[in-house]
Amino acid sequence: MCYLIAKRMNKTGCVALQTEPGEEMAKFADEIQERLGYDIEIITISRPTAYGEYEPHLFVSSYEEFEKEARQL
């Protein structure tokens, strides 16, 4: 298990999706990075509590919701 994170550079907060690492997640991350541009950082982390610089976290439950919320960052 890991968390896919979207964070706009120099802004507070992020969008987080708990997911499984693998080909599907990697492909989604690459595609959404291309669609959103590079002023939004797309990364994976092991646990949100270890990365206070991304707080507050908005947890979502699907790739579709992740993209919708990431677009609004």
Q: Where are the domains of the chain?
A: 2-71
- Full pLDDT tens readout for the chain, 73 residues: 999 999 998 899 999 999 999 999 999 999 999 999 999 999 999 998 888 888 999 999 999 999 999 999 9
pTM of the model: 0.89
H/E element, 33: helix 23-36
- Report pLDDT for 9: 87
CA distance 58 to 70: 10
